[in-house]
Homo-oligomer: A and B are copies of this chain.
Amino acid sequence: MLSIGVDIGGTKIAAGVVDEAGTIIAATTRSTPATDPELIEAAVADAVVELRAQHDVVGVGVGAAGFVGADRRTVVFAANLAWRHRPLADELERLVSLPVVVENDANAAGWAEFRFGAATEAEHMLMVTVGTGLGGAIVLNGELVRGSGGFAGEIAHMTAVPNGQWCGCGRRGCLEQYTAGTALVRTAKRRAATGDPLMGPLVQAAGGAKKEIDGPLITRLAQQGDPGARELIAEIGSWLGEGLASISALLDPEVIVVGGGVSAAGDLLLDPAREAYATHLTARMHRSIAPFEVAQMGNRAGIVGAADLAR
């Protein structure tokens, strides 16, 4: 039984035909047409039509950044795209004549890891995606947790620091402001601006231009052993571990999967996260400590997870 998964990103729409083992057996892409909802839908439909022409599929799963209604049909709000209470599933079903479900992209990715990737042995999984921002997906008793309105898993906006850094969401101290790519780069730039000598190699690697510092550069220097870059990533990791300890107090997951661009730093990120997690986890004498695993599905996760959720 095949299904199609679609991952709508800010610049690219990636679609694939996925089998029951989570393998993508055919794929195609479109560029994301700016911010016009109808054009995006047309592009998605176009990709689906191309794929279904060659494969017999039972349905389509679409993953999108943003708040997706619990009915799995409506995009309530998407920060980067122009959808507001958009009945995306209805629109697409009309265009492609296949059953469509919509999922939050972090949920889709998390589901892929749970079914086919780093957490296939688990019943209870927490996945955290550390990219530019911070995403989360929760699986309990083998089921994806969407919450009453579809807003569950927003670990980015749990409060890490009361009265802390202002967040784009209008609140202060959100975890995302401390442990995601944006936080990583901002900290590097701020420290560089104060003349912190540890930031010297990083500024040099950025050609002397502080504003050119970005996440991949920091990761690369860290992997080459630069102490300043390592300290920056370790700080992100510590905040991550501390935040996850609070989440584990609440959910007691079996395994924690860490994905997203920043997870490319591997143990440079995860070791400090593990240490902070163990330090901040309540009752650690009495419980087993959930292992931290690096996500395995890479950028296929969105397609595979969305497709599987559509079955």
Where the two chains meet, the residues of A that have a C-beta atom closer than 8 Å to any C-beta of B are 67, 76-77, 122-124, 136, 138, 140-141, 143, 145-166, 169-174, 178, 186, 190-191, 193-196, 242, 245-247, 249-254, 279-280, 282-288, 290
Contact = CB atoms under 8 A, between A and B. Distances in A.
A186 B167 CA distance: 11
22 contacts: A76-B287, A124-B148, A140-B140, A148-B254, A150-B252, A151-B249, A152-B250, A154-B250, A154-B283, A156-B282, A157-B283, A159-B242, A164-B165, A164-B173, A165-B172, A166-B186, A169-B194, A169-B282, A170-B193, A170-B194, A170-B282, A171-B194
A211 to B, nearest CB: 14
A64 to B, nearest CB: 14
B147 A253 contact: yes
B157 A249 contact: yes
A149 B287 contact: yes
A149 B289 CA distance: 10
Contacts of A280: 159, 171
A292 B166 CA distance: 27
Nearest to A147: B252
**Which A-B residue pairs are the 8 nearest by beta carbons?**
A147-B252, A170-B194, A157-B282, A148-B254, A195-B285, A151-B252, A158-B246, A152-B252
A25 to B, nearest CB: 32
A148 B123 contact: yes
A194 to B, nearest CB: 3
Given A77-B283, A252-B149, A280-B171, A163 B141 contact: no
Given A283-B151, A286-B77, A163 B166 contact: no
Instruction: Say whether chain A's binding surface is mostly helix, strand, loop, or mixed.
Output: loop
A122 B148 CA distance: 9
A103 B146 CA distance: 25
B159 A162 contact: no
Nearest to A169: B282
Nearest to A66: B286
Given A157-B282, A170-B196, 8 more contacts: A140-B140, A141-B145, A145-B251, A153-B250, A161-B162, A163-B178, A170-B190, A171-B279
A282 B174 contact: yes
A145 B149 contact: no
A195 B290 CA distance: 17
Nearest to A198: B279
